[in-house]
């Protein structure tokens, strides 16, 4: 009995250590992603971006965090106080929970789940509840409009994302994220799933941009139309939690796209020099590139109209993914299956 208790305590302690190892760099990454965004967009628009706090603005995220910590959280008079304060937590917690199943290398994950892909889909879909609750609890018409937009947008693009992941599941024959990466090993970047499943790759990544309410799909916030959408009444750390959730989800979508379609931790070319580089470096480099695409798109495209966003999700992405599922299914029953696998 004593040995069992020791083993149980050690398992709990080891799990906590793994959670800290993942969450602390994630929160630092979120903080400095905000700086990277302002710098990248500044350079694209021929501006300097933040350059006053620290060396070339390197301490700006810390200054922003301190500022938000000391700002007053103002609760509107007629708001539902409990739900108003619970909404940021409902948005932020799923953005952290999804990382439990993400592999960072062979066997390197908080939990190497056999149904990891299913877990990720289930938890990622919970984040919208925070947005909907925030819009309703604020007792504000603009916030409520933003929440309704977010709910409709989530339904449209969550379906397309789900179908895109079905394609990966059909080819990999597993829900385990580590095994999905291992199925892409051996042939360099041309053996990764982005090539045979290119429509799924595009649909998943673009839907990920829509799911995170990033430009040009940011109608849930739409500051030129509904002030700031669902978080218009929030300030201080309550607002910061929505901010943290959005950027954590950006990193998550980029990393999951890397795992599913870009070979995870494998080098793009199988040469001794590149294989010598640790897998985690390749994983982070690919993720960083996709994050740069997030920022590049925000600096380049104007916001879509709401009807255009709905049309793209329902009339383009969903039919395309369904059609490609049929194509992949047929291909898997022919000699082409050797190319897909």
Q: How far is CA 307 from CA 205, 250, 313, in A?
A: 20, 24, 10
How far is it, in rounded angstroms, from Cα 209 to Cα 162?
14
Residue 179 — very low, low, confident or very high, per pLDDT cuts 50/70/90?
A: very high
- Residue 89: other Cβ atoms inside 10 A: 14
Q: Write out pLDDT tens, residues 66-76.
A: 988 888 888 88
Q: How far apart are CA 109 and CA 259, in angstroms?
A: 13
Evaluate whether residue 130 is within a structural domain: yes
Quick check: 5 pLDDT over 80?
Answer: no
The predicted structure's pLDDT at residue 1: 53
Same domain? For 51 and 167 the reply is no
Q: How confident is the model at residue 311, as a pLDDT?
A: 92
Tell me the average pLDDT across 145-163: 86
Among 65, 87, 104, residue at a domain's last position: 65
The answer on 310 and 180 residing in a single domain is yes
Of 193, 176, 251, the closest CA to residue 26 belongs to: 251
Pair (128, 25) in one structural domain: no
- Residue 139 covered by a domain: yes
pLDDT given at position 2: 55
Higher pLDDT, 14 or 283: 283
Rounded to a whole number of angstroms, the distance between the first and last alpha carbons of the chain is 47
1 within domain boundaries: no
DSSP code of 340?
Answer: H
Look at residue 218 in the predicted model and tell me its pLDDT: 82
- 232 and 332 in a single domain? The answer is yes
Domain of 48, in residue numbers = 8-65
Residues 126 and 220 grouped into a single domain: yes
Rg of the chain in Å (alpha carbons): 21
pLDDT of residue 338: 65
Distance separating alpha carbons of residues 341 and 325, to the nearest angstrom: 15
Q: What is the pLDDT of residue 273?
A: 81
Do 44 and 81 reside in the same domain of the chain? no
For residue 215, pLDDT beyond 80: no
Instruction: Give the separation between CA 242 and CA 312, rounded to whole angstroms.
Output: 26
The pLDDT tens digits of the residues spanning 239-296 come to 889 888 989 999 999 999 999 999 999 989 888 888 888 989 999 999 999 999 999 9
Q: What is the mean pLDDT of the chain?
A: 87
Counting the structural domains of the chain, the total is: 2
Whether 120 maps to a domain, the answer reads yes
Q: Same domain for 19 and 154?
A: no
CA dihedral 168, 174, 178, 184 (to 10 degrees): -50
What letter would DSSP give residue 55? G
Residue 226 within any structural domain of the chain? yes
Q: Do 75 and 184 belong to one domain? A: yes
Residue 339 has pLDDT above 80, yes or no: no
Q: Are residues 15 and 119 in the same domain?
A: no
Please indicate, yes or no, whether residues 131 and 186 belong to a single structural domain of this protein. Answer: yes
User: Do 223 and 179 sit in the same domain of this protein?
Assistant: yes
Same domain, 54 and 77: no
pLDDT at 255: 95
Domain assignment present for residue 194? The answer is yes
Q: pLDDT value at position 286?
A: 96
């Amino acid at each position: 009995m004593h040995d069992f208790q020791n083993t149980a305590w050690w398992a709990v302690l080891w799990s906590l250590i793994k959670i800290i190892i993942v969450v602390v760099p994630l929160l630092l990454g979120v903080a400095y992603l905000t700086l990277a965004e302002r710098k990248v967009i500044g350079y694209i628009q021929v501006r300097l971006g933040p350059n006053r706090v620290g060396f070339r603005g390197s301490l700006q995220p810390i200054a922003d965090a301190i500022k938000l910590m000391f700002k007053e959280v103002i609760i509107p008079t007629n708001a539902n106080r409990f739900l108003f304060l619970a909404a940021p937590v409902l948005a932020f917690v799923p953005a952290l929970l999804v990382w439990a199943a993400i592999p960072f290398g062979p066997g390197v994950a908080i939990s190497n789940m056999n149904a990891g892909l299913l877990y990720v889909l289930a938890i990622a879909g919970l984040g919208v509840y925070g947005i909907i609750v925030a819009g309703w609890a604020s007792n504000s018409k603009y916030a409520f409009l933003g929440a309704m937009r977010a709910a409709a947008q989530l339904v449209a693009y969550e379906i397309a994302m789900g179908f895109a992941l079905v394609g990966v599941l059909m080819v990999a024959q597993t829900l385990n994220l580590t095994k999905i990466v291992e199925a892409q090993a051996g042939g360099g970047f041309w053996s990764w799933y982005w090539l045979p499943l290119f429509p799924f790759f595009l649909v998943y990544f673009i839907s990920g941009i829509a799911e995170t309410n990033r430009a040009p799909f940011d109608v849930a916030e739409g500051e030129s139309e509904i002030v700031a959408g669902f978080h218009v009444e929030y300030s201080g750390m309550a607002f910061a939690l929505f901010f943290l959730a959005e950027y954590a989800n950006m990193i998550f979508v980029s990393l999951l796209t890397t795992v599913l379609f870009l070979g995870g931790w494998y080098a793009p070319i199988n040469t001794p020099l590149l294989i010598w580089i640790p897998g985690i470096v390749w994983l982070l480099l690919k993720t960083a590139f996709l994050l740069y695409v997030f920022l590049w798109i925000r600096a380049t495209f104007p916001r879509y109209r709401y009807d255009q966003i709905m049309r793209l999700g329902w009339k383009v992405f969903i039919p395309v993914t369904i059609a490609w599922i049929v194509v992949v299914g047929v291909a898997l029953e022919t000699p082409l299956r050797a190319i897909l696998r």
